[in-house]
Amino acid sequence: MVDFAGWSMPQQYTSIIQEHVTSRTAVGMADISHMGRLRFEGPGAAVFLAELLTRRVGDLDLGQVRYSLVTNPQGGILDDVLVGFYHNEHGQPFYVLVVNAANRRKILGWVQAHLPPERAEAPGEEVICTDLTRLWAMFAIQGPRSVELLQPLIDVDLHLMKYYNGAQVRILHPAAQRQGGIITRTGYTGEDGFELSVGASVALGIWEAIMEIGRPLGIVPTGIGARDTLRLEAGMPLYGHELSEGINPFQAGLGYVCYLVGYDFPGRDALKVLERQPLDKTRIGLELAGRRVARQGCDILAEGHKIGRITSGSHSPTLNRPIAMGYVPPEFAQPGTELQIDVRGRFEPARVVKLPFYRRSRKGNHK
């Protein structure tokens, strides 16, 4: 077990490589209850969220989920989040914001600072924000057999659920004790899969039910070790590595999630300026020629001169070689560029490659 933003989490259950490979070939399930989840409801919720997030909120269709950023007034990245729009069992709308565990208090602080009683209780524009993190567990069920696994438990047709869509659902198992949940076709692995939020009091029973149903499909529980190698292969940035307040969305390759002509969220004006400036550095993927792994903090060099730094690196179980992400000036970011990485004093040759490192073959009817 390891500490992760104050949560005690399994690094691996058996083997990171085995859990990784099973998530790519069959199905794996991770307990991601550490992810912060904030529910926003009330007629003022959409506008309030639009004034926090870099992306539009008001135009979300029912069930739609959208990746977005939260930036500081200078345009630095405070968090990367998912926002989803759902109806509860009474048909009332609400939003769920999924934030990084390490950033939950930061985001909650911003919400509290910007939601004085006169705004929260303005007639006809009320906003209620509830931190559900400790009340709801969350499981990531990822892999090509995830639809087959979960369908018997869920009262909507998962085959028809599109990527980045979700729903408030009933869970068809006695372990759920008639409680519902929220399921979304999202994930952090580059694989087909779902994320399921259920009440904490029934979560253990539901976890065991899914493991039981999944046994013939080859399910394995997966720890944060495999979660990290899976997301790295998928080229997905991780807060605290590729993303931080010292990085802006354009450097991170996330300019496409910044909608700069809408609501005045923090950092919008700074981003309008940054958008017009040439990039000083950009996020790249690297494949190493040798076996030694480049990890966060290693220097990236071009012909002996330091040009940047590694933000994440690991062994790629799929490619069976070390891969890494980092930031370099744009003139070194062209795929095929040969660079070196200083791995504990020895220079390891590496080549810039297009992200992601791994892309699944899309046979399903989603997206």
Chain residues that interact with other proteins, rule: CB under 8 A:
1, 8, 11-12, 15-17, 225, 229, 291-293, 295, 314-315, 317, 322, 344
- Shortest spacing between CB 16 and other proteins, in angstroms: 5
- Shortest spacing between CB 325 and other proteins, in angstroms: 16
Contact 153, 209 (CB under 8 A): yes
Contact 230, 192 (CB under 8 A): no
* Of 39 and 231, CB closest to other proteins: 231
* Of 226 and 258, CB closest to other proteins: 226
- Shortest spacing between CB 235 and other proteins, in angstroms: 18
- Shortest spacing between CB 186 and other proteins, in angstroms: 25
Q: What is the distance between the terminal CA atoms of the chain, rounded to a whole angstrom?
A: 36
How far, in whole angstroms, is CA 285 from its chain's centroid? 18
- Shortest spacing between CB 315 and other proteins, in angstroms: 4
* Of 135 and 319, CB closest to other proteins: 319
C-alpha 147/C-alpha 141 separation (Å) is 9
The H-assigned helical ranges of 278-349 are none
* Of 197 and 229, CB closest to other proteins: 229
Strand order in the sheet with 93-99: 65-71, 77-87, 93-99, 36-41, 128-131
Tokens (6 digits) for 211: 């493991």
* Of 42 and 223, CB closest to other proteins: 223
- b/e map of 95-116 (b: 16 or more CB within 10 Å)? bbbbbbbbbbebbbebbeeebe
* Of 5 and 260, CB closest to other proteins: 5
- Shortest spacing between CB 226 and other proteins, in angstroms: 9
- b/e map of 232-264 (b: 16 or more CB within 10 Å)? bbbbbbbbebbbeeebbbbbbbbbebbbeebbe
- Shortest spacing between CB 291 and other proteins, in angstroms: 4
- Does residue 335 have a cis bond before it (omega within 30 degrees)? no
From residue 124, give the alpha-carbon distance in Å to each of 23, 42, 130, 162, 211: 46, 8, 19, 33, 45
* Of 99 and 324, CB closest to other proteins: 324
C-alpha 335/C-alpha 272 separation (Å) is 28
- Shortest spacing between CB 277 and other proteins, in angstroms: 38
